[in-house]
Amino acid sequence: MSTSKYLITVVGPTAIGKTAMAIELARHFNCEIISADSRQFFREMAIGTAVPSKGELEAAKHHFIQDISIFEEYSVGDFERDAIAKLDELYQTNDFAVMVGGSGLYIDAVLKGFDDFPDVDPAIRSQLITDYEAKGIEYLQQELQRLDPVHYEKVAKENPQRLMRALEVCIGSGKPYSSFLNIKKNSRSFTPIVIGLEADRELMYDRINRRVDIMVNEGLIDEAKGLYPHKSLNALQTVGYRELFEHFDGNITLDFAIEEIKKNTRRFAKRQMTWFRRTERTKWFDFTTPSTEIINYINTQL
């Protein structure tokens, strides 16, 4: 076999079956898995982030699953550094590794390198969180449009984390967030092979709705109650928790909160597909495609 190193990357929307496919590929190529799901990093968030089951974690060794706390700051730049270091370690004894996840920014950071942003005073993010809670997402949108109209046109405008990240750079550096993009790209010691899983939109949405129902049955509400006192933390500004916090605040009913989780997850999946459609050299497969067919494709790329 070639001495080249390969990073087989599985992308696609939430609830499409990426974890199961990644495990099959890792077992076939006898390698380990890098998780690039930015919500599954946190040990306190298990049900609402669809962390792989005990059986799945035993079927193939995973890295970056529930290995930090919601009380720790962990950026995409931190993940890029840690993931590349782990891959360098894995490649000492194996030509293959698998990466899987639905967080496009984190996938891109590993595959292509992350843009070099300046350090920012944490007090800026704290103030932005306070402003977001008091004035809503519209305030963040308006501020970013004012400070960086170029990035405003590209950003996921319904994602407060993306908005706050861009704003803290704008405020902390005095320069537009977009001015730091695409200045440098790091070289990589591996060849990426990117596999995309997709489904008909209605089928994808039905899978999402059913997954939310399963999460609720497995204890999502109690998990969110335990996290409610910490609802302002960055890690918890995410679908599945935010809606339940609104219910605990007395603003909406539980049934409405659950329907909002489904709706917002469907919107998130649509944004994921928009992002991943831009990923270079991705080979797309229907989510029902047998792993043997995908393995055959991968072998043609070696």
**Pseudo-torsion of CA 59, 61, 62, 66, nearest 10°?**
90
pLDDT at 51: 94
- Looking at residue 114, its pLDDT comes to 65
User: Does 238 appear as a known binding residue?
Assistant: no
The dihedral through the CA atoms of 7, 239, 125, 227 has a sign that is: negative
Task: Tell me whether residue 196 is annotated as binding.
Answer: no
Question: Token pair of 6, please?
Answer: 């390969």
**How far is 294 from 9, CA to CA, in rounded Å?**
12
What tens-digit pLDDT sequence spans the chain (302 residues)? Answer: 345 899 999 999 999 999 999 999 999 999 999 999 999 999 999 999 999 999 999 999 999 999 999 999 888 889 999 999 999 999 999 999 999 999 988 998 899 876 677 778 888 888 999 899 899 999 999 999 999 999 999 898 888 989 999 999 999 888 899 888 766 556 788 999 999 999 999 999 999 999 999 999 999 999 999 999 999 998 998 999 999 999 999 999 999 999 999 999 999 999 999 889 987 789 999 999 999 999 999 999 99
Residue 13 near residue 102 (C-beta atoms within 8 A): yes
Q: Edge-to-edge strand order for the sheet containing 33-35?
A: 62-63, 33-35, 96-100, 6-11, 191-198, 282-286
The answer to the question of whether 19 is labelled as a binding residue is: yes
Instruction: For residue 257, say whether it is annotated as part of any ligand binding site.
Output: no
CATH class, range 122-180 = mainly alpha
Q: From CA 277, how far away is CA 7, in angstroms rounded?
A: 19
Alpha helices in 249-290 (DSSP H): 254-277
According to the annotation, is 192 in a ligand binding site?
no
pLDDT at 156: 86
Residue type for position 166 = A
Where along the chain do the CATH 1.10.20.140 domains lie?
Answer: 122-180
15 is an annotated ligand-binding site residue: yes
Every domain range in the chain assigned CATH 3.40.50.300 = 6-114+188-300
CATH class of the domain at 6-114+188-300: alpha beta
- Establish whether 219 is an annotated binding residue: no
